[in-house]
Structure 1
Amino acid sequence: MTGARVPILMYHAVAADPSPATRALSVTPEAFAEQMAVLADRGRTPLTTAGLAARWRSGRPLPARPVLITFDDGYRGVHRHALPVLAGHGFPATLFVTTGWLRGGYDTGGAPDAMLDWPQVRELADNGVEIGGHSHTHPQLDQLDDARLCAELTGCRDIVAGELGAPPVSFAYPYGYSTRRVRTAVRGHGFAQALAVGNALAHRAQGPYALRRVTVRRGTDAEEFERLVDGRAVGRTFARDRALTQGYALVRRARRLRRAV
């Protein structure tokens, strides 16, 4: 199954009453539990990000009907609501942490909602959740100069390593934005694979530093979730998102060129 297309689900907050800033990209605890039941009922086999990339890198076959469950940023509901559901199914997952947003000694402020603390992150790690990096302050990495880009990656990597005893090997780009320069820097900081967004199924030919994900949000109903997992009509579902992303990419490229002059 090295040529398989794999749904990598991208979650953010799991909360009954999220902040306005995270509401659109949140899911309710009830919806998350129902979605995990769908994966179980359909015989899906969850993998961590590192597990998927390692199999593709080595050429080892994937398990039957693979899927990835990923969370960005580090919101408190991942521990409070998602972990018991994941543990109940025996599902592994990956959490990409913005280290400057988590509660503790590295907090830079600016977190958009209630965040995890480091004891909760360690408990997640102890229960089958891979902890990956998501930068230190959640900037658009492709807009940073080399020094600031390095600081974001180094800070995130070293804080996770210090708190968990090992450096993270997987990374997710904030906002999904990356360029060749950003991907090279991520690789140079010891990350073996990285996830974008793209709202498409992941496959080996994308390369280990540009694996795509599909967004699960508050408006994702049961029927749409099943379509996303099965890879049906993903293009139509996210057509508007892709158009907006392409337009904004041109704007960001123009900004980079102006700064370079």
Structure 2
Amino acid sequence: MTDARVPILMYHAVAAEPNDATRALSVTPEAFGEQMAAIADRGLTPLTTAGLAARWRSGRPLPARPVLITFDDGYEGVHRHALPALAGHGFPATLFVSTGWLRGAYDTGGGPDAMLDWRQVRELADAGVEIGGHSHTHPQLDQIDDTALRAELTRCRDVVAGELGAPPVSFAYPYGYSSRRVRTAVRENGFAQALAVGNSLARRAQGPYALRRVTVRRGTDAEEFGRLLDGRAVARAFARDRALTKGYAVVRGARRIRRRAVGALG
């Protein structure tokens, strides 16, 4: 199954009453519980990000019908609501933390909603959730200079290592954006694999630093979730998202060129 197409589910907040900043990319606790039950009912086998990448890297076979359950940013509801549902099914998952957004000594105050603290992160790790990196302050990494990029990655890696006793090996790009320069820096900071967005199924051919995910939103109903798990109509479901992403990529590229030109003139 080295050529398998694997659904990597991307969650953010799990909350009954999210604020406006996180509402669209949140799911209710009830919906999350139903989605985990759907995974179990279909006989899918959840893996961590590191587990999938290690199997693809070594050529070891994948389990039957693999799926990844991932969370970005580090919202408090992952501990309060998602963890009991995961534990009830014995499912592993991966949480990608923006270390400057979590409550505690490193808090930059930028978290857009109620965030986890480090005690909760450690409890998630003890329960079988892989803790990955998601930068320190959640910038668009391909829009910042080399010094800031290194600082974001190094700070994130070192904070996680200090809190959990081991450095993270998996990374997710904030907003899903990366570039060859960003991917190289992620690799040089010790991350062995990284996830983008892309809203399509993951394949080994994408490479370990550009594995794609599908977004689970508040508006994802049971029928659409089933299609995501089965890999049916994923391209059509996210066609508008990809078109918008491509258009925004052009705008962002123009911004980069303009900043470089201004810097050269200065």
TM bucket normalised to smaller: over 0.9
Q: Distance in 2 between matches of 1:74 and 1:213?
A: 17
Partner Cα distance (1:2, 1:120) in 2: 35
Give the TM-score of the pair, scaled to structure 2. Answer: 0.98
Q: CA deviation at 1:246?
A: 0.3
Please name the residue that 2:12 is paired with: 12
The 2-side partners of 1:126 and 1:53 are apart by 21
Equivalent residue pairs, number: 261
2:4 partner letter: A
Please state how far the C-alpha of 1:117 moved relative to its aligned partner. Answer: 0.1
Output the CA distance in 1 between the equivalents of 2:94 and 2:218.
Answer: 20
Match for residue 59 of structure 1?
Answer: 59
The one-letter code matched in structure 2 to 1:223 is E
Look up the equivalent residue of 1:141 and give its one-letter code: L
2:252 pairs with 1:255: no
1:168-227 CA-partner distances (Å, limit 9, x unpaired): 000000000000000000000000000000000000000000000000000000000000
Q: Which runs of 4+ in 1 moved over 4 A?
A: none
1:66-145 equivalences under 5 Å are 66-145=66-145
1:178 is matched by which residue type in structure 2? S
- Any idea what SS the aligned residue of 2:79 has? helix
Q: Deviations over 1:121-144 (max 9, x none)?
A: 000000000000000000000001
Q: Distance in 2 between matches of 1:122 and 1:216?
A: 25
Residue 110 (structure 1) shift: 1.6
1:220 partner SS: coil
State how far apart, in whole Å, the 1-side matches of 2:88 and 2:111 are: 29
Q: How does 1:19-58 map to 2 (within 5 A)?
A: 19-58=19-58
- After TM superposition, give the deviation of residue 159 of structure 1 in Å: 0.1
1:155-234 superposed matches below 5 A: 155-234=155-234
Equivalent-residue separation in structure 1 for 2:170 and 2:179 (angstroms): 17
- Aligned amino acid, residue 220 of structure 2: T
For the residues of structure 1 that align with 2:234 and 2:41, how far apart are their CA atoms? 21
Give me the whole-angstrom Cα distance separating, in 2, the residues matched to 1:39 and 1:19: 28
Equivalent position amino acid for 2:39 in 1? L
Q: What is residue 264 of structure 2 aligned with on the other side?
A: none
Query: Which SS does the other structure have where 1:9 is aligned?
Result: strand
Q: What is the root-mean-square deviation in Å for CA atoms of aligned residues?
A: 0.3
Give the secondary structure class of the aligned counterpart of 1:168: coil
- State the distance in 1 between where 2:145 and 2:11 align: 29
Q: Distance in 1 between matches of 2:235 and 2:113?
A: 30
Structure 2 residue ranges without an equivalent (≥5): 262-266
CA distance in 1, matches of 2:205, 2:65: 18
How far apart, CA to CA, are the structure 2 residues paired with 1:134 and 1:13? 15
Cα deviations by residue, 1:45-97 (Å, 9 ceiling, x for unpaired):
00000000000000000000000000000000000000001001000000000
Q: Percent identity?
A: 86
CA distance in 2, matches of 1:114, 1:248: 29
Query: Could you state the TM-score of these two structures normalised by the residue count of structure 1?
Result: 1.00
1:57 alignment partner AA: R
CA–CA distance in structure 2, aligned partners of residues 76 and 217 of structure 1: 17
**Structure 1 runs not aligned, ≥5 long:** none
CA distance in 2, matches of 1:141, 1:229: 30
C-alpha distance in 2 between matches for 1:230 and 1:7: 8
Secondary structure class of the residue paired with 1:196: strand
